[in-house]
Amino acid sequence: MVLTPDHRPLDATAPLSPLLLAAHPPQSPAQIPSLSNSLHQSNPTAAPGLIRRKTSTGSFSKLSEFWLDGTPSTPSTPWEDPSGVAAVKHVDLSIDAGEWRHPVFKTKVLSILRRLHVPLWTHPDLTPSRIHLQKVSGALTNAVFFVSFNPRPTPTSPSMSPLLTPTMPASDPDHPPPMNADQFPPTLLLRVYGPSSGQLINRDQELRILHQLSTTYGLGPRVYGTFLNGRVEQFFPSRALHAEELRVPEIASSIARRMRELHSVDLNLLGYEAGKEGEPMVWRNIHEWIPMAEETLTTLSQAGGKWEVWVESFGLHRLRDELETYRRFVAESADKGKGLVFAHNDTQYGNLLLLDAELPAGVPEHHKYIVIDFEYAAPNHRGYDIANHFHEWRANYHHETLSWSLKPHFPYPTQEQREAWYRAYLSVDLSHGEEIIHDTASIKQDKVERLDREVRLWSPACSAFWSLWGVVQAGEQISNIIAGTEGYEPEFDYLVSGFCFLLLLPADAHPSNTQPSACPSSASWPPTSASSFKPLIVAVQPYRNPLHAQPQRLGLLRPQKKKSLVIVLS
C-alpha cells in the first residue's frame, strides 16, 4: 500500500487564480528601478534597499551547528524586507545537496525544519529516520527534494522521483508511529539552490514575488522559510505533467488560460514600479549574463585543446553583437506587443502540475492545472513567454541520454496547434475584475494572427536566453573538466545544452522551418578541431507582415571559424 502525502482540502473561499486587481494591496511594495533600454548599460535587478542573502555554497555549515535537541544556537529570524514581507523565517545554515544519500543529510534537514517551526515538523518524537527523502529528477537549476514523513520504525533509503509525484511508505501495524495519522507532518518541497544559480536569480526578489502571489492572489506555494542556500515550500498534492501532455488539446488549452491569468497580475502590486512600461526581463538578464558567460568561457579555455576550440566556436563576442542588432530590430517592430505582463518565463512540463484534489464548485476546470517555480518570473512581453512555452513542447528532460537537447524528441507546435492555443489564451477576460471565459470560436482571426507574429518575433530571444543560461550554469561542470576529475559525468550537460540552444537560433526566426540538425551528441562533442565545426545556414522564408508595406525576414547564419555571424533584416 502506498499513501499519498497528507494535504488539506482546497478552500472554496480562497482565490484560485489571479484577478486583475487585488482586493488588499500590499503595503509599501519594494521599488524596482527603471530599467535601461540597452544591453550595454548597467542595470541592477535588485530592488533598492533589499538586503540580499548569501547564497553561495562554497562553505557549508558544520554538522555541530545542526542541533536537534536543546536550545537553538541559531534561531530563525524574519526575512529582512523593507516591503513588509516579514512572515518568512530564515536560518543561517547551508547544506550540501551532494550528500543527499548520506544519513547526515536527513539530520540537517530536520534541524532546519525545526528551527523554521514548519507545522507538525517540530514534534519531539520526530527523528531523522522518520524522514522519507526523494530527489526530483529533471530539476535543472536547483536540487529539489520531497521531504515526507516515514511512518515505519525503520529508516528508508533516499531515492529518485522521476516527476513531481512523491510516495510514502506504508505504516507497519505491529509498530505504529508515535503519533496519530492526522498528526503526520505534511510532505514538503526542499529546494537547495544550484552552485551557480545565485548569479542568475535574485533570490530576495523571487521570495517577495512568491509571497505576494500566495497571499494576495492565492497563487503558488507558501514558503515556510529559507536557509542560506535554499528554502522550504508547501507541496501541492499533484503530479507534474509528462512531456508529451503539453500537446494534448484539453491540457494545452488549460495551460493557455492559466498563462493568460498570470499575465493579468498587477505588476505594480508585485513591486515593479515601472509596470508595463519597464524593460523586458530577457534583455536585462542577457545584459547581465553575457559578462558571466565570458568569465565562464575564459575559465573553460584554460583547459586547452578541444575546449579552447569549443569556446572559439561558441563565439560569444559575435553573439553579443548579433543580439544587440536583434534587440534594435524588435524594438522597432510593430509586432513586439503592447507593454509588459507578469511572465513566468519557464513553463516547461515539469513546472506544470495537475492537482489531485477536487476543485470547489463553480471553479473553472482549467484551474486543476497550476504552475510552480517562479525563479525566472518577471515583467516580460507575453510573446516571449508563449514562445518559450512552445519551445518546451520539444523538450524531454527525463531522456536517458539526450535530456539537454530539443532536437530528437517532439515537434514544434504546428500552425493549427498554435492557433488553438492562442484562441484559448484570448478567450480569458479579466478586464472587469472577475474571470469570464468566452467561446474560442468568437475570437477574431486577426487577433490570433497578430499574437502569432508576436510569438515568432520573440522566439529567437528564448534560445539566446537559455544558451547563455547553460554556459553560466556550467561552473561545476567546468571545474571538473579543468581538474580532470576521473569518471565525472554531469547529471545535466549544461555546456552542450547551451551550444544546442545557440544552434536553434536560425530556425527560431521561422518556427515552421526544420530545426537545426547540427546539435552534437555528448559522445562526439566538443570537436577536436575547428574544421569539424561546420557552418549551419538555414534559409528562412520571408513572411509578409500586414502592418508594413514590405516583407520582412529575420535570419541568423551560423558561421565557419573567423567569419562573422550576421542577422539579415530585409
Burial of 265 by CB count in 10 Å (0-12 exposed, 13-18 middle, 19+ buried)?
buried
pLDDT at residue 197 in the model: 59
**In sequence order, which ranges of 484-528 are alpha helices (DSSP H)?**
494-503, 505-508
The CATH 3.30.200.20 portion of the chain extends over 63-234
What is the Cα–Cα distance from 271 to 29, expressed in whole angstroms? 5
pLDDT at residue 29 in the model: 31
pLDDT at residue 404 in the model: 65
What is the Cα–Cα distance from 404 to 525, expressed in whole angstroms? 13
pLDDT at residue 37 in the model: 39
What is the Cα–Cα distance from 476 to 456, expressed in whole angstroms? 34
Q: What are phi and psi of 227, to 5 degrees?
A: -130, 180
Per-10-residue mean pLDDT of the chain, 570 residues long, equals: 34 37 33 36 35 41 60 50 61 90 94 94 91 81 88 88 70 78 88 74 81 79 90 89 95 97 90 88 95 95 91 92 91 93 95 89 91 91 97 84 71 95 96 87 97 94 94 91 88 85 69 43 40 29 28 29 30
R_g of the chain, CA atoms, integer Å: 24
Q: Is domain 238-569 in CATH 3.90.1200.10, yes or no?
A: yes
Q: pLDDT tens digits, residue range 178-233?
A: 777 778 899 999 999 877 655 667 788 888 888 888 877 777 788 999 999 999 99
Cell of 480: 571538473
pLDDT at residue 130 in the model: 93
The CATH 3.90.1200.10 portion of the chain extends over 238-569
Q: Which CATH architecture has domain 63-234?
A: 2-Layer Sandwich (3.30)
What is the Cα–Cα distance from 384 to 336, expressed in whole angstroms? 9
pLDDT at residue 195 in the model: 73
Q: Find, among 292, 288, 319, the residue nearest to 471 by Cα.
A: 292
Q: pLDDT tens digits, residue range 349-385?
A: 989 999 988 888 888 999 999 998 888 999 999 999 9
What is the Cα–Cα distance from 140 to 373, expressed in whole angstroms? 11
Reduced 3-state DSSP string for 310-375: HHHHHCHHHHHHHHHHHHHHHHHCCCCCCCCEEECCCCCHHHEEEECCCCCCCCCHHHHEEECCCC
